[in-house]
A and B are shown apart, each in its own frame.
Chain A
Amino acid sequence: MNIRIRQGAVALAVLATLAAVAGCAGTGAATVTSADYDKDAAAVMAASFREQGIVKTDRLTQDEVMVACSKFGHSLDDDLRERFQAAALAEVKWPSDGKYIGDWKEGEKIAQSGRGLTWTDKADAANGGNCYNCHRITKKEISYGTIGPSLYQYGKVHGNTETTQKYVWAKIWNPNAYSACTNMPRFGTHGILDEKQIRHIVALLLDPKSPVNAE
């Protein structure tokens, strides 16, 4: 079970450090660059996981956006951000029948559910939206997270217009369309939620009868 990677390389690095110690004031890391660590980290990620249940190791595969969003210590430059956002908006799949509003009661159930796509879930289980984990939504549910903004009274504030409906639809389908490297999952892009479910969540947020706006 010992997973040894680049032990040899490290041994060499130590020797190099010892040789260069006078020159670089004993900072051993000077001979190992950040790029070396990037390579080591990639190898460790690849070697440390195995498949379990419905989850295969291809879950670790990152697209261009996630590679960029995994870099720490600096933010996206403007060009990249604009490119990611434009590409995200372009791939949003709009509702086949042109209807954005479903049943807010169903939307509330989806917003409450955190099920789906883990290795303890079954392949045919309906996925939840996990919305309350990060957002305040209705007044009644006090157990809500604060990773995302409050959506309470969202429709009341922004109006139930077609423009708002389309914005909310696209935001759920691929939130990178408006904010590259957001914490929010790409629910439509990755097939976490289907068209019908997204319609219900749009209703939860925008329908004037939804407790989000009515209470």
Chain B
Amino acid sequence: MKNSTYAACVAASALMFATPALADATADGIAKYREALAEGNPAELWEMRGEELWKEARGPKKATLEKCDLGQGPGVVKGAFVTLPRHFADTNRVQDLESRLLTCMETLQGIPADEVAKTPFGKGEQKNIEALVAWISAESRGMKFNLPMAHPEEKRMYEIGKRAFNYRGGTHDFGCVTCHGEDGKRIRLQDLPNLTKGPDAARGFGSWPAYRVSSGELWSMQRRLNDCFRQQRFPYPVYGSDVTIALSSYLGVTANGTGESIAPAIKR
């Protein structure tokens, strides 16, 4: 249940970013709150279920996911999370963890990817995806981000992600960059990582999937991005669409070598 890296990191940042106008007591209080939560993260309930699901014969083909290739070879889970998104030769596509899982579920288990993608978050097969990403990410806890960039498609998705990150629109003229483009900012009391550089990018990107205490649910990166776009007053990003994968590529590559994954973390 130890997640002291996270607690220490959040505590440090909360104090470091405290503006002179902000009473230190507030930042200190919030840091203590987060520290207390780091112990006993309910994400572990999803991790347990995820490990079982990986090994459970399911779907029309009654097969497990144990032959799923997350980029490190069939069945290799450890270390996979910190190299995603990456290019996969079999689909000839850059895929994040969730879209890759859809591929595996469809090819190995016969569960139609399109239907899973259309399922609302927290329901049906999406619930299973949430458990799987919790376990898979936990298997890379403490490892540094190391996304490959050798393939031209990986470079292309990174470049598209950078542009999507800076794209401002909607009724409020917001883009990802509005909240995540500067050091030491907060929205209400939440620290905002500057996702345009490490190690903040690793701290932000490397926290998801995470248990959201506000909803009591496990949120995948897809869901995190979905809700960012909602709050930006943007239209609905299609699950597993290229904009979501490109953004993850941009964030992950920016995080490369600068910090470790603490996912699944616990967030307000």
Contacts and interface: CB of A to CB of B under 8 A. Distances in A.
Q: Is the interface of A mostly helix, strand, loop or mixed?
A: loop
Contact of A152 (B21, B174, B175): B21
Contacts of A70: 163, 166-169, 175
Interface in A102-128: 117-120
A140 interface: no
B241 interface: yes
Size category of the B interface is 35 or more
A2 B93 contact: yes
B94 to A, nearest CB: 11
Nearest to B23: A142
B72 interface: no
Q: Is the interface of B mostly helix, strand, loop or mixed?
A: mixed
Given A28-B155, A61-B169, A50 B235 contact: yes
A32 B157 CA distance: 13
Size category of the A interface is 35 or more
Interface in B181-210: 182, 184-189, 192
Contacts of A28: 152, 155
Given A38-B163, A72-B162, A136-B21, A185 B171 contact: yes
Contacts of B119: none
Given A59-B234, A66-B169, A152-B21, A185 B174 contact: yes
Contacts of B179: 147
A62 B172 contact: no
Given A50-B236, A62-B169, A134 B160 contact: no
Given A37-B156, A49-B243, 19 more contacts: A1-B238, A4-B93, A32-B155, A40-B160, A41-B167, A45-B167, A48-B237, A48-B244, A49-B236, A60-B235, A66-B173, A69-B168, A70-B168, A72-B162, A133-B188, A142-B23, A144-B188, A144-B189, A147-B179
Interface of B: 17, 19, 21-23, 26, 91-93, 102, 113-114, 117, 152-153, 155-156, 159-160, 162-164, 166-175, 177-179, 182, 184-189, 192, 229-231, 233-244, 246
